[in-house]
C-alpha cells in the first residue's frame, strides 16, 4: 500500500497536469477518502505550494495560475518523448537562438532518467538516422518568436526590424496571421501594413519585435501554412515551367505537392470532382530542371510541356536513354 508521502506526491503530479480536479476525482485516483485529500492539500500548502480551492458545482482543487513548480515530475514515457522532441528539433533546425537551452534541458532530463530508460534512449539515438540534413539557417530569437506568437493570438500589430536576403534593413509594421515551420525554418505570414500587401518573413531575419496598440482582422482565405506553400510555389526562380497533365488532383499532388507547384483546372467546365481525370495546368518555378523528367515519368500520366524548351530536351534525352537500356541484351 502506498505511503502517505507517496500519495501526496501523486496528488501534486495530478494538480501539476493542469485544470481543476474535483475532490471525488482525486480521492478515487489516490484510493483515499475525501477528508484525506483535504489533509494532503493542507500539507502541500504548508510547503508553500499554492493549491487553490475552487467553490461551486464544478469546484475542486488546482494550482495557482503561473506557478512554476519545482521539481518537474515526468513519467518515463513523458521524459523520453521530451528528449526525442529536443533531438528532432535540433536536427531539423526548429529551435530558438538559444541552442544551449535545448542542450542543457536535454542534459538535465537525461541525468534523472532511470538507468534502464537512459540505456534504451541511448540505444535508440545510436540507431536513429535522418534523411534530411540539419537546418543551415540561423534559428530565430526566442523573444521574437514568443512576441509574434502573442501578436497572432490577440490579433495585434507588431513592429519588426527585418533584414532581407540582400542585406537591406527595414522597419515594418506587421499584421501577423500565423507562424509556420517549413523545411527547417520558421516563417511568419501576414500583412505588411506599410504597403498594404501580404508578405512572408523568415523569423531568423527579424532582429526585434515589439507589440503595438490596436487590433486587426485576419482576412478570409487560405490559412498561414497554405499561404507559405503557395508563396514558395510562385517565387521567382531561374526557370518558369508550365505543364498540362491529364489525371486527378491526387495523382498530380502525389509527385508535385503544393509547396512545389501551383495547380489549376485547364478546362473549368470539367467540374470540381478531385477524383475525376482531366487536364490540369501545373506551374512551378525552379533553379534546376534535371529532377523534373524522372518525376514526370513516375506520374505515368499523359502530359504536355508548354515551356521551357530546355525541359523538352531533357525529357527526350531521358526517353532515349530508357529506350536504349530496354534494347540492350
Of the given ranges (67-81, 211-225, 298-312), which has the lowest mean pLDDT?
Answer: 67-81
Domain for residue 70, yes or no?
no
- Binning pLDDT at 50, 70 and 90, where does residue 1 land? very low
Q: How far apart are CA 310 and CA 315, in angstroms?
A: 9
Does residue 103 sit in the same domain as residue 165? no
Domain for residue 137, yes or no?
no
Domain for residue 69, yes or no?
no
- pLDDT tens digits along 167-181: 889 999 999 999 988
Does residue 243 sit in the same domain as residue 211? no
Domain for residue 8, yes or no?
yes
The CATH code of the domain that includes 323 is 3.30.70
The CATH code of the domain that includes 210 is 2.30.30.520
Domain for residue 133, yes or no?
no
Does residue 217 sit in the same domain as residue 239? no
The two most distant CA atoms of the chain are separated, in Å, by: 87
* Half-sphere exposure (Cβ direction) of 40: Cα atoms closer than 13 Å: 25
- pLDDT tens digits along 40-56: 888 888 888 888 888 87
Q: How far apart are CA 191 and CA 258, in angstroms?
A: 22
Number of Cβ atoms within 10 Å of the Cβ of 306: 13
Task: Provide the residue range defining the domain that includes 305.
Answer: 234-327
Last residue of a domain, one of 203, 224, 245: 224
pTM: 0.51
pLDDT in the model for residue 266:
58
Q: Answer whether residue 146 shows pLDDT above 90.
A: no
What does pLDDT average to over the chain? 81
- Number of domains forming the structure of the chain: 4
Amino acid at each position: 500500500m502506498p505511503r502517505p508521502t507517496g500519495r501526496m506526491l501523486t496528488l501534486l503530479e495530478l494538480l501539476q497536469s493542469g485544470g481543476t480536479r474535483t475532490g471525488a476525482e482525486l480521492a478515487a485516483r489516490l484510493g483515499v477518502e475525501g477528508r484525506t485529500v483535504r489533509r494532503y492539500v493542507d500539507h502541500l500548502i504548508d510547503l508553500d505550494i499554492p493549491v487553490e480551492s475552487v467553490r461551486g458545482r464544478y469546484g475542486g482543487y488546482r494550482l495557482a495560475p503561473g506557478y512554476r513548480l519545482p521539481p518537474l515530475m515526468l513519467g518515463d514515457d513523458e521524459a523520453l518523448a521530451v528528449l526525442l522532441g529536443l533531438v528532432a528539433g535540433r536536427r531539423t533546425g526548429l529551435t530558438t537562438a538559444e541552442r544551449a537551452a535545448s542542450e542543457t534541458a536535454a542534459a538535465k532530463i537525461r541525468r534523472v532518467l532511470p538507468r534502464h530508460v537512459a540505456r534504451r534512449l541511448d540505444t535508440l539515438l545510436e540507431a536513429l538516422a535522418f534523411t534530411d540534413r540539419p537546418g543551415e539557417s540561423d534559428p530565430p530569437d526566442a523573444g521574437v518568436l514568443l512576441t509574434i506568437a502573442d501578436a497572432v493570438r490577440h490579433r495585434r500589430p507588431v513592429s519588426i526590424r527585418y533584414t532581407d536576403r540582400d542585406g537591406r534593413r527595414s522597419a515594418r509594421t506587421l499584421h501577423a496571421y500565423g507562424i509556420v515551420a517549413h523545411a527547417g525554418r520558421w516563417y511568419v505570414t501576414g500583412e505588411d501594413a506599410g504597403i498594404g500587401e501580404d508578405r512572408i518573413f523568415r523569423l531568423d531575419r527579424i532582429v526585434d519585435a515589439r507589440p503595438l496598440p490596436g487590433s486587426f482582422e485576419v482576412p478570409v482565405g487560405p490559412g498561414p501554412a497554405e499561404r507559405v506553400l503557395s508563396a514558395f510555389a510562385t517565387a521567382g526562380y531561374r526557370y518558369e515551367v508550365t505543364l498540362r497533365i491529364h489525371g486527378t488532383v491526387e495523382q498530380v499532388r502525389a509527385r508535385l505537392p503544393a509547396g512545389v507547384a501551383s495547380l489549376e483546372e485547364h478546362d473549368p467546365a470539367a467540374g470540381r470532382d478531385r477524383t475525376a481525370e482531366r487536364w490540369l495546368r501545373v506551374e512551378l518555378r525552379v533553379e534546376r530542371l534535371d529532377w523534373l523528367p524522372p518525376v514526370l515519368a513516375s506520374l505515368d500520366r499523359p502530359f504536355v510541356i508548354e515551356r521551357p524548351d530546355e525541359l523538352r530536351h531533357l525529357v527526350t534525352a531521358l526517353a532515349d536513354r530508357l529506350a536504349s537500356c530496354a534494347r540492350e541484351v
